[in-house]
Structures are given as structure tokens and as C-alpha cells.
Chains A and B, each alone.
Chain A
């Protein structure tokens, strides 16, 4: 791990305005840095030896701290120094030259983690026993440095069988989450699925696999992929949604193929008049319903593309169905269809207008779809709350509604006020005049 980085900590800490001095000779500079690094590592070696005397205390596990770190291949070697002070005097003299390098990298988990954080040279190879590996991992977790935790996990992934690693991660929540995130980022789906399986996190596993459908571009392959998803162990609710997803795409493929053909053959007026802007593939259910209300209105329930069929298949609520249908038919200015949506017949054969949502909302939607005043006023009239009715009527200039309402309220004053607002000589002006001069009416004011 070579790190081409100046000691910027010094830089940050030192005088406020000091700028860098640049070395023109790159190679010289690198060499300089290398020697500096070498010097530094020697110094830290000496310091660490010093420190070790200070921390020759008993750790939580009851073993001497300095000693504990020296488990592994050098155990016998380090044990041969009964008196730690001996080590202070040129320990390298006692060692064969070939081992010198190994000795340098013989850092405790704590030191190793610290070196990694500081971007210094480190080595993980010497953590070979499971116990050492886990000590290293726990130390990384204690240091709160996700970058180092992941680095250690990558090493463990390479050097431990997955069964063992998974087993150890179960009790280490923080490390586990880092591992999952790492696998997600590098796209190791299979391993991730195994991990979730081994931990009985079946719902996570199902979602993880389902997520992969986002990577499938071709619609037929995507449909097959979703079909395959149906067998995954989702929660009951999610299983229904995934089933819907599969059914939806399956139908969209059929509808798309059919409509494309119809559109290009020029058989149907609706496609000529309103050419499709985009394909229906991969659109949400409601968008599909809208599309169906737009292009396939009035088809029999039996066809996949009919609004009624979509409504039934995807259990769409009355309210939702009405809203979507209304939007589509209003867009086409099919006011007759709009009217039919609200008309119900009672057992005596009388018709009445009903709506699962307030008529003020209906007016709002119609107005956004540029409905003419003649259409709007029918619905404004159906608003129950009188004040709301009048304010809507004023907003959308439904004169008749306002005039009739004031007349019904026998509110002469308001009618006079309103006369002042409309154009003199217009039909609504004349209508007001007519009413005001009607001597049959008994005004309240």
C-alpha cells in the first residue's frame, strides 16, 4: 500500500498561510518521500517498543497486552525475551536478516488499524488464526472507521470460508452491515443471497433478488425474471405486489404489441387523432388504467386492455378508478362519458348523480382538463355546501349557477351586487334584470 501523499497533517497544523513548496523533480521527490517513510517507520518501531513497556498491563482477557498481540508465528520468538527491557537494545541483532522484514510488519491489531487509518504501510497476512482475524475486525469496528472495517472484511472474505465468516458476522452487527453494503456495491448478488439465507433473513433475500429486475432491459426477459421471482419468500403482502408486477408486465406486452400494430396500420381513429407518445411498457398500474380508459374505453370486460378488466385484476378502488377514468375521458372531451360515470339509477328508474369523492374535486379536475363552462356548471351545481358552490362558480365564471343560487336563497342584495360585476347587456345581465323585476318573488332583503 504505497501512498503518494505528503504529510499534510503537518501542513494543516502548521502556520496558517504557508503554501506548499513544489519539487520540480518528481523522481527526486518520490525518492525523498520513500526514505522519509523508511525513517518514519523505523522511528515508530522504536516508539512502539517503548510504548509496549508502558502498556505491559493486563487486558480484559487477562493476558498481557503486549504479549497477546504477538501470538501466531512469532510467539516462540517473542517469548524468548523474558525480560522486555532486553528487547529495547537492538533487537534486530538477535534476528536473522531474513526475518527482519516480517518483524517490521508484526503489528498488533490496534497498531495495524491505526496505520491503515493513517494511510501507512500495513500488512494483514499475519492475522492467520481465526482469533486474530476477529480481534482485528473488532479493533477496526472500535475505531469507527468504515473504510478500515471494509478493508478488514475484504481480507477475511479472502482468507476465511464463507460459512465461518457468516457465522462470525451474525454476532457482529456493525461489521455485518458493512459487509452487506460492500457486497451490494461490488454487485456480488449470489454471495449476498447466501448470506441472507444463512441468517434466515428470507424477506431481505427475496427483495434483493427482486431488485435485479431493474437490470433487465428486454421486456420479455424481464417478464420471465419476474415470473421467477414469484417463488421467492416475500412477506404475504409483498408477494401479492410482485404477482401484480408480473401480471402487469405480461399484459402490457400484449397490449403494446397489439396497439403498435393497430396504430401503424391506421385502422383506429383514436390512434390517428391522438398518436401515442410513449410505449405503455413498465408504466405503473394507474398509468396503464389511464391509457386503457383513453384508448380502449368501452371494450368488453373480457379483453386484457379494457378498463374493467384492469380494474378487477388489480383490485383498484372505486375512488381511484373514478379519478383516473375521469381524467382520461375529460382529456378527450368525452363529456357524455364523464356524465355517465356519475349517473346512477335507483329502483324507480330515476337517475341521480353520485360520486365517491366530493363534487368540488370533480370540478377541479374537469377545469384542469379545460372543460367548457356548460359542463363545469353542471358539476358546480352538485356541490352541496352553498358557500363552496358560490365560490367555485365565481372562480370559473358559471354565471347561471350564481344567479340561480342567489335567487333560490332569495338574496336580492347579493344579486344586485353581482349585477354590477357582469357585463352590461350580456345574457347574464339580462337574466338578473328579469329576476329582479319579477314581482312574484318574495325577497328576504
Chain B
């Protein structure tokens, strides 16, 4: 980006060590098993394999299916020995199931404590996409200690941390679990590489991950789905007959320069880059043999590499453009922005309705409904009933179950009679100035307890006034990641807490967010590591949020490291709410 304001930001620690640790441990585990033939993924279908010794690397979401695999084998008269290596942790429930099914001896178990996968210089993932559903929907805390252990690992290798801030029940628990593990283990004095830590529950801010992403990396994730830092570009992008798998990280020089850019800026950048490349190639003409030799040995390889990357990203951009114009992306974004702003809600509702009626993407319809509910503090009973009925007609009545899940999590709810007060308050709030609105909020929130996006938006200035022009080439705040329409709540909270060095002055905000905030200071040596901040998202974070934090880091001379249970986006988040797996 052209506007890197401060160049004095500290260097990030080296996370490749984490990978080595994990790999060494897996090798160790596997070497303990003699001659394992093959690794299997457990799915709900008969596995056709001829080998005698199988080793299962287990996606824990399906642990309860394993006995079926073994029993199916037995039914065929195949008696085998099985080894389950759980990662990152063993489930007592699963061991119990093995015991109940009478296969405990046939199956032995082990653990591969692989907590952290560095996806990039500043992104570490726990690769636990199931965290969101398990914790926030089912209320199962099976991953809380895992999160604590991950933090413990980071603390042992890169700590000690001098300050820990957090908000949300799960953050609090993960923090406590980590502290407990610290106390159990030995303490060693070392030079801290990471100074501050911020823990945040995903349900503190559910609006942000439900917005359409328009920053390059986020858009690529929304459209092509990045898995473990890797994306598969379809033939449409590669303009050949093959799909290509590409690693997307800071090693890709072209990608690194556009990943945080608003999509509208990407084309200009890419074409400039293409022109530069052409000039570099053109240098060849008029070279003598010796110059040519140096050119080939020194520059050509780099240029070719750049050429390849450039054509890939141009292809991807074109393909995304095509997809987005086909589905009237502009109108969709306009609706989203209106929802965030609380403007022309009736028009938004009829837009959503038509979206449903025309049976356009189910997840997309659900996303808009959830955004409507989250920003409006629930739907009016009349709207709720009618939109739900139409949704079920268009996408299948079994989505009754989905609605029940969304309600349980608070993503899509019906306004309760008491809550109409909040609606009234937000209407009144629009008419009077901010200060009075604040007082009104105080008065009303004691009556209606529900969280309040509008009030939060006003308090934290999340939604800039729409009449001002927003120059996306020179972003002035984190709102650029949503075309200047909205500053992500999660990132704004982080900014505010770091600025205030705690939660002082944010009492009303935390109250509206349902509390559970904390700030713990361990005031030892003040070093440069203070400016390296580890942000841990419990329940997933989006690429847009990471871009926003990178922006914040550049503005303030800080470096953010994002640790997340998984990279998420609206589709992943909502798909995890579906109950259609039998």
C-alpha cells in the first residue's frame, strides 16, 4: 500500500518453529506405529482398502462414526488393529464409545497436540472450524482448554506477555485455562517477543463476518474459498483446462501488495504492474551478449515468476468481476450498507424477500436475514413469520431446524414485545443529536436488555456519515475494508482498548456487549515487544478483519498477529448452522 505511514513497526517473531514442533511430534507418533500403510480420513461411508494396518488422522467432528468403520470391517470378517491419533486432543466421549462398542482393544488411541498452524507471517490458525458451532450453538466447551493450551504454547515460546485484554465468556475461560497451565508448568525468564494479547469471542461481533467482503483477500475467500492458506483457481481463472492450487501468503509478491486493497483499486494496480513487467522484458532489445547473459541469469527468473503470478491474479480478478456483476453485486452491497446504516429498512426487506422468492443462493438469503436481525435487534413478528414462511417455501421446509439454530444463537430472532422500545429508541436516536441519544440509550437499555448494534454504532462511530465521499485510494480509517461504509466492531474495540490501555471509558459499550471484559497487567520489562499484539479470535475471524488490523498496525506503528480458531466468512459461519447432515 502506498500509505505505510510508520516504518518503525517492530519485526514479527518467527513462527516456522511451531510447524517444526508439530511435525516432529507427528513423526514421533507415527514412528511408534510400525509399518503404517496408509492414512485415512473418516467419513460416513464404507472405506475400501486392502491394507491391514490403517492409521486414521481424525477430523474430530465425526468421532462418533468411527465404531461404524470398525464394525463394518468386522461384519466382513476383517479383523484389524486400529490406531486413532486425535488432533489436537483426545475425547473422553470417544474413548467411552469405543469401550461401549466393544472395540476398545482393537482400537488404540493417541494424541497429536498440534494446536497452531502458521498460515502466514502474521496469521496462525488452530484449524478448528467446528469451534464456532460447538461452543456458540451447542454450548460445548470442549475446545476451551485447547484454546488455553494454544495460548500457553505461544506464551512459552514467545512470551511472557505483559498485558492481556479480553472480552467474552469464552475468552475469559480460555484465559483462565491458560493461567492454570502456566502455573502447572515451570516458569522461565526469557526475552519477550510478543508483548500484548487481546482475546475476543466471535459472538461479540457477529455483524462483521456476515458482511460481503470487498478487500481482495477476503473476496478471494468468499468466492474461491481459501483452505489452509491455499486456494484452487478453476480453469476459468487460469485460462487453461486445468485448475491450479496456489499458496496465498506474503511469499507471493504480487498477492502481498494487493491482498489488503479494496477490490476497486486492484485492477489499476495490476495493470500498472503489467506495464512495469513489459518494460523490464523490453530491456532485452539492444543488449549485447554479456548483458543478455546477466539478464537471463539474474533477472529473467524473477520476471517469469512475477509474470506467472500476475497473470493468475489478473485472471482471478476478472473471474470475480464476472461473477459479481452477474448477481447484481452493487445492489446487494447497497442493501447491506442500508442495513448497517439503518436506512430504508422496508426497501431492504423487500429486496431480501425477492432474493428468497427467486430462489437465489440459500446461504446468501440467510445471510441477509441475519444481518437484518442483528442490525435491527430482531425482526418484527409479522416480518419474521412471513420471511420465514417464504424461506421455507423456497429452500425446503427442513430449514425449520436451521431457523431454530439461528434463533438459539441469536443470529436471527423475533423481536419480543418489550424490545419495541429499542426500535423506538433507535428511531428517536436518529432525530436528536448523539449526546441526547446516549442518554436515551441509558434510559432504555435498562428496560430492554438485548445487545444493540445501532447504539454501539453510534457510541463507537462505526458507520461513517454516508454523505461524505470516501476515497478508497487513500483510506482514512478501517472502514475502507467495507467501502467506507462500516468500521468492523471487533477491530474498533481492539483499537479503543489499546488506545485507552484498558476498558476505562468503555463501560457502556461493554455493558451493551454483555460484559465479560477483562484486562490483566503483568508490568515487568517494557520492551519493543509491547508493540507486537497478539489478537486471538475465539470462533473464527475473517480476512477483512485481518486487513483492518494490518491497516491499524501501519497507522499506529504496531504489529498484529492474528490467532484464530479458523479463518471464517459468512458462508462458513452460516453453513455451520445447517442441520442437514443426518
Chain A positions near chain B (C-beta within 8 angstroms): 1, 3-6, 8-9, 11-13, 16-17, 19-20, 22, 26, 29, 116-119, 143-151, 154, 173-174, 177-178, 180-182, 184-187, 207, 210-211, 213-215, 237-238, 241-242, 244-245, 248, 282-287, 314, 316-317, 319-320, 323-324, 357, 361
Contact with A along B131-145 (1 / 0, CB 8 A): 000100011111111
Contact with A along B361-399 (1 / 0, CB 8 A): 000000000000000000000000100111011111110
- CB <8 Å contact, B176 and A144: yes
CA distance A184 to B64 in the complex (A): 10
B139 contacts which of A117, A174, A185, A316 (Cβ < 8 Å)?
A174
Rounded to whole Å, the gap between the CB of B45 and the closest CB of chain A is 14
Rounded to whole Å, the gap between the CB of A270 and the closest CB of chain B is 22
CA distance A380 to B1 in the complex (A): 45
- CB <8 Å contact, A4 and B108: yes
CA distance A324 to B354 in the complex (A): 11
SS of B interface (majority): helix
Q: Does B404 sit at the interface, judged by CB under 8 A?
A: yes
- CB <8 Å contact, B93 and A320: no
B359 contacts which of A116, A248, A287 (Cβ < 8 Å)?
A287
- CB <8 Å contact, A284 and B396: yes
- CB <8 Å contact, A207 and B93: no
Q: Which residues of A contact B57 (CB under 8 A)?
A: none
Known contacts A6-B28, A147-B142: does B397 contact A248 (CB below 8 Å)?
Answer: yes
Known contacts A207-B404, A248-B397, A357-B354: does B92 contact A150 (CB below 8 Å)?
Answer: yes
- CB <8 Å contact, B393 and A286: yes
CA distance A17 to B97 in the complex (A): 38
CA distance A174 to B96 in the complex (A): 21
- CB <8 Å contact, B357 and A151: no
Please tell me which stretch of B17-25, B285-293, B462-470 contacts chain A, meaning at least 4 of its Cβ atoms lie within 8 angstroms of it: B17-25
- Which 5 residue pairs spanning A and B have beta carbons closest together? A177-B139, A146-B141, A146-B142, A151-B92, A144-B173
Rounded to whole Å, the gap between the CB of B581 and the closest CB of chain A is 8
Chain B positions near chain A (C-beta within 8 angstroms): 17, 21, 24-25, 27-28, 31-32, 34, 63-64, 89-93, 95-97, 108, 110-111, 113, 134, 138-145, 148, 153, 156-157, 173-174, 176-177, 180, 184-186, 188, 354, 357-359, 385, 388-390, 392-398, 400-401, 404, 579-582
Known contacts A16-B157, A19-B24, A213-B398: does B91 contact A147 (CB below 8 Å)?
Answer: yes
Q: Which residues of B contact A9 (CB under 8 A)?
A: 184-185
Q: Which residues of B contact A210 (CB under 8 A)?
A: 400-401
CA distance A89 to B376 in the complex (A): 68
CA distance A6 to B110 in the complex (A): 10
Q: Which residues of A contact B89 (CB under 8 A)?
A: 147
Rounded to whole Å, the gap between the CB of B308 and the closest CB of chain A is 35
Q: Which residues of B contact A3 (CB under 8 A)?
A: 90, 111
- CB <8 Å contact, B138 and A119: no
- CB <8 Å contact, B141 and A286: no
Rounded to whole Å, the gap between the CB of B143 and the closest CB of chain A is 7
Known contacts A185-B64, A214-B580: does B143 contact A146 (CB below 8 Å)?
Answer: yes
- CB <8 Å contact, B108 and A149: no
B140 contacts which of A1, A151, A177, A320 (Cβ < 8 Å)?
A177
- CB <8 Å contact, A320 and B157: no
Known contacts A20-B25, A181-B140, A211-B579: does B359 contact A286 (CB below 8 Å)?
Answer: yes
Q: Which residues of A contact B142 (CB under 8 A)?
A: 145-147, 150
Jot down 21 A-B pairs with beta carbons below 8 A, ordered by A. A4-B32, A4-B108, A5-B110, A16-B157, A20-B25, A144-B144, A144-B177, A146-B143, A147-B93, A178-B139, A181-B140, A185-B93, A214-B581, A214-B582, A237-B389, A244-B397, A284-B359, A284-B393, A286-B357, A287-B359, A314-B393
Question: CB-nearest residue of chain B relative to A284?
Answer: B396
- CB <8 Å contact, B357 and A154: no
Q: Which residues of A contact B93 (CB under 8 A)?
A: 147, 150-151, 154, 182, 185-186
Which interface residue of B177, B395, B400 has the most chain A CB atoms within 10 A?
Answer: B400
Q: Which residues of B contact A357 (CB under 8 A)?
A: 354
Q: Which residues of A contact B97 (CB under 8 A)?
A: 186
Known contacts A150-B142, A177-B139, A241-B400: does B21 contact A12 (CB below 8 Å)?
Answer: yes
